[in-house]
């Protein structure tokens, strides 16, 4: 499967916009504490795909929100994603040396500063989320914060997924446990990205529910694709150490279900997701393209 040029172009364009906003929304490297701000920016501005912000923008704009109203929330979610990567990479956790093609935060700035840079990105995310709501609708903004905090929390959420991942390392896990890990560790924040786009657009509960269903499907598809890339990619394509999951005896989709069944499952989830957003009665082209991109990407 090839990624159509248009969605790649779209994501690159959105990533550039997001980067400009991120640059404005985190403290400068010249403001004290300089070394901490440097560590935060080192990891945040390392050139990720900005998939989560793109989903906030694509979902929100499809439902009628303005880019300016969506951007702070989009950037806050990227800060949370980056904090989770910094902490996951720590020696006490996954002990990873390479991330997004560069040495990990703690390899460059030391463990103490990496822990604090992660803490600071998480905190800054909520500071950005609680800044004056551009729409002036504080109730909507409060709901967005609640949605993001829940997706970043413990049960069926970001931190819970990382705990389950660590606890099951070196064990044989069943399909159900693996799906819990994927749904929590990656799926929850991806789903929240789509959902908050809808909430910020003032979408109906029915439409927010549909966005949640779409988000859950592409979230799981994303993680299956990630597992597949770990098996099939080179370090250069991936920007991080490939084969690492296997070496660590980590639970992955292809390890349990095989490569072919994993590819089929991811494709099926994407088609379901595309169907769901095409029933929304809005221009869902970008959301469909992003869903397809998620399984077709090479890194």
What residues line the site for its own copies (CB under 8 A)? 27, 31-33, 35-37, 40, 83, 87, 90, 92-93, 110-113, 115-116, 118-120, 122-124, 126-127, 129-131, 133, 138-139, 141-143, 145-146, 149-150, 152-155, 158-160, 162-164, 166-167
Measured from the CB atom, is 105 or 294 closer to its own copies?
105
DSSP label at 183? I
Nearest-angstrom CA–CA distance, 214 and 209:
9
Task: CB nearer to its own copies: give 124 or 288.
Answer: 124
Q: Residue 114 or 287: which CB sits closer to its own copies?
A: 114
Least Å distance, CB 235 to its own copies, is 25
C-alpha dist (Å) from residue 10 to 49, 219, 285: 11, 19, 12
Residue 236 C-beta: closest distance to its own copies, Å: 30
List Cβ neighbours of 83 (8 Å cut-off, separation of 6 or more): 117, 118, 119, 121, 122, 125
Q: For its own copies, give the closer residue by CB, 195 or 287.
A: 195
Place of tokens 């956790």: 93
Closest distance of CB 242 from its own copies, Å? 23
Closest distance of CB 91 from its own copies, Å: 8
Which backbone phi and psi does 207 adopt, to 5 degrees?
-70, -40
Between 161 and 239, name the residue whose CB sits nearer to its own copies. 161
Residue 84: strand, helix, or coil: helix
Taking the least distance from each CB to its own copies, the nearer of 141 and 284 is 141
Smallest distance from the beta carbon of 154 to its own copies, in angstroms? 5
**Which residues are within 8 A (CB) of 134 and not within 5 positions of it... i.e. 6 or more apart?**
68, 69, 72
CB-CB neighbours of 72 under 10 Å = 24
CB of 207 to its own copies, least distance (A): 22
User: Among residues 168 and 288, whose Cβ is nearest to its own copies?
Assistant: 168
Separation in Å, CA 41 to CA 21, 49, 80, 189: 13, 16, 13, 21
Token couple for 81:
């994603």
**HEC readout, 163-179:** HHHHHCCCCCCCHHHHH
Report the nearest approach of its own copies to the CB of residue 79 (Å). 12
């Amino acid at each position: 499967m090839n990624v159509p040029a248009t969605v790649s172009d779209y994501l690159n364009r959105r990533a550039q916009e997001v980067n400009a906003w991120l640059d404005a929304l985190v403290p400068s490297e010249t403001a004290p504490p300089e070394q901490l701000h440097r560590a935060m920016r080192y990891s945040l501005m390392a050139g990720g795909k900005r998939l989560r912000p793109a989903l906030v923008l694509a979902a929100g704009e499809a439902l009628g929100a303005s880019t300016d109203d969506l951007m702070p929330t989009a950037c806050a979610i990227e800060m949370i994603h980056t904090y989770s990567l910094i902490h996951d990479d720590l020696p006490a956790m996954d002990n990873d040396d390479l991330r997004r093609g560069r040495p990990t935060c703690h390899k460059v700035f030391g463990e103490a500063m990496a822990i604090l840079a992660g803490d600071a990105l998480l905190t800054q995310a909520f500071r950005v989320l609680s800044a004056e709501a551009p729409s002036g609708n504080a109730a909507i903004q409060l709901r967005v914060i609640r949605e993001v905090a829940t997706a970043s929390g413990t049960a069926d959420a970001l931190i819970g997924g990382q705990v389950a991942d660590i606890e099951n390392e070196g064990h044989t896990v069943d399909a159900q446990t693996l799906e819990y890990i994927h749904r929590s560790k990656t799926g929850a924040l991806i789903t929240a990205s789509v959902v908050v786009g809808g909430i910020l657009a003032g979408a109906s509960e029915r439409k927010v529910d549909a966005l949640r269903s779409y988000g859950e499907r592409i979230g799981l598809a994303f993680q299956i694709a990630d597992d597949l890339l770990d098996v099939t990619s080179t370090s250069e394509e991936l920007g991080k150490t490939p084969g690492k999951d296997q070496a660590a005896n980590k639970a992955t989709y292809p390890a349990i279900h095989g490569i072919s069944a994993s590819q089929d499952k991811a494709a099926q989830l994407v088609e379901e997701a595309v169907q769901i957003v095409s029933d929304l009665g809005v221009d869902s082209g970008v959301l469909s393209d992003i869903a397809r991109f998620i399984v077709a990407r090479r890194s």
